[in-house]
Amino acid sequence: AYIPEAKAGDVRLFLMNGLPLARDGNYAAFRRVPAKGDVRSNIHAAGTARKVKVTATMLGIADMVRPKLISDGMFLVGLDIVGDKLLEINVFTPGGLTRLSVMHKTDFATSVIASMEEKWTLRQAYGDAMPNSRLATL
């Protein structure tokens, strides 16, 4: 079904280990605004990225999908949200962190790398006895 709020674009909100990715007081989130005359807000389809205020509704959506993401061992994903609806969970290529780092003057990648290093250390200590779904909750 068509969602009228989509005219203003969608919001890409990044989650890491099932939680909204934040650093230096900034959420890793942006609004993807469609080019004039296009319904697609994808950046590769001439959409543009704009700052967005993360709302309680967006955080509620993140809370709703957190258990499934963790149980599936999803480390870094991008939620695409329009209004109060989740359109898509990008699990393979949640692009936009570099754009966000420039937009917010915040290096979100540092948080991602630190978490990956921590997972690697735990993996070395526990081996296969601790699956990624468990690592995601630590």
Question: Which class for 12: exposed (0-12), middle (13-18), buried (19 or more C-beta within 10 A)?
Answer: buried
Both tokens assigned to 77: 């994903």
Please state the domain extents for the chain: 4-136
Per-residue model confidence as pLDDT tens for the chain (138 residues): 777 777 778 899 999 999 999 999 999 999 987 667 655 556 555 467 789 999 999 999 999 999 999 888 899 999 999 999 999 999 988 888 888 898 999 999 999 999 999 988 988 998 888 887 777 766
Plot region of 31 (φ>0 → left; ψ -120 to 50 → alpha; else → beta): beta
Whether the CB-CB separation of 112 and 16 falls below 8 Å is answered with yes
- CATH number of the structural domain 4-136: 3.30.470.20
